[in-house]
A and B are shown apart, each in its own frame.
Chain A
Amino acid sequence: MNGLPRLIVTLTLITVGAGLLLSLVESVTREPIAEQRRLEILRALQTVLPVFDNSPDADTVELVVGQDKKGRDQMRTFFRGRENGTLSGVAFTVIAPDGYSGNIGMMVGVDPRGTVVGLEILTHAETPGLGDKITRNEFKDQFKGKTLEGVDWRVKKDGGDFDQITGATISPRAVVKAVQQGLQFFLDHQAEVLTP
């Protein structure tokens, strides 16, 4: 076998072999990968929610938050934590599109009346050493106990109530704004989120 047929047969055999290997590896790793992603959400939920004894990742409500560029609905998932069956808090993810470099994804936990219980930064690409201080507890903890009303949702540099970070105002500003909008959305749809 020479010439063109040989080229085609060899390449086909190699790609078939590669395909077999990959499907094998994929079937082995599928479960652990799904488990890792679930654990990641659970870890975040544990830090932002008040005490709960259910599985908040199985007790969710999905609401439409807006449309993307193609007109498809964008959904936001609300994870509900319960203690002895009573709702103790709700967690949801918000994305700040105006970070210093790219989106900042975070999870906000609130009690049923809308007071912030915790904030966790999930994904970000802020400058190491400057903007990435938003992941530090000193920054995140100042959101605890804050409500939409009675708090000026701006960084101190802009006249608000939140400490910015020396050398990086853009990242905290983006986080504060996103949390505020998330809270607003939660309060606007409180009934839908809280009904069982």
Chain B
Amino acid sequence: MSLLKEFRKGLWRENAVFRLLLGLCPTLAVTTSAEHGLGMGFATTFVLVGSNIVVSLLRKAIPSKVRIPAFIVIIASFVTVVQLCMEAYFYDLYKALGIFIPLIVVNCVILGRAEAFASKNRLLPAMADGLGMGTGFTLALFVLGAVRELFGSGTLLGFAVFGAGYQPFLLLILPPGAFIAMGLLLAGMNRFDTNRS
């Protein structure tokens, strides 16, 4: 199944965060908790699938000279849709993610997939690609957010994991902790891949 292949490549082999190292700005900034990571991941996935569908459908109509502005308009529209819906129905998450919701527009994963994949492929593969890349992105943000939340606040998805005596390792919640956690996770993944091959 080639559709399954397009979906699966985003999960590990071409994972946007851990393999392509794309979209790191929101990744590092919002992953102070697993919940924020998930919220950002879902929002990005929605935009990614939506823009991949529209770009793929319009790929023959858009002249290559104006493709970048056209892609950006399409992406920005989906981002605004996400932002309005999140403010209307998930207000707390909207307030927590703040400025990083509108900034999804400039997440290079999305423009990257529109340019490299959706503009050259038919509807179904483009959808599978967007869904896979988005899921991989969400997983990466969830794992990073979970690690930082677990050691930085001693909770996971808001539930206390360690006893009350646990002294949180604050550094992981602060911005430098994002880089450190990310680096350690990357090293772990590389180790895993080297051992396997």
Contacts and interface: CB of A to CB of B under 8 A. Distances in A.
Nearest to A6: B63
B63 A10 contact: yes
Contacts of B52: none
Contacts of A32: 88-89
Nearest to B82: A25
A15 to B, nearest CB: 6
A15 B72 CA distance: 10
A14 B74 contact: yes
SS class of chain B's interface: helix, strand, loop or mixed? helix
A21 B85 CA distance: 13
Interface residues on B, range: 20 to 34
A10 B170 contact: no
B119 interface: no
B65 A7 contact: yes
A25 B80 contact: yes
Nearest to B87: A33
Given A29-B87, A36-B87, A40-B91, A7 B80 contact: no
B81 A25 contact: yes
A14 B73 contact: yes
Given A7-B65, A29-B84, A129 B152 contact: yes
A62 interface: no
Interface string B62-102: 11011001100110110011001101110100000000000
B184 interface: no
A39 B88 CA distance: 12
B47 to A, nearest CB: 13
A25 B50 CA distance: 15
B88 A36 contact: yes
A168 to B, nearest CB: 11
Interface of A: 6-7, 10-11, 14-15, 18, 21-22, 25-26, 29, 32-33, 36, 39-40, 127-130
12 contacts: A10-B66, A11-B69, A14-B62, A18-B77, A21-B77, A25-B84, A33-B84, A36-B87, A36-B88, A36-B91, A128-B152, A128-B174
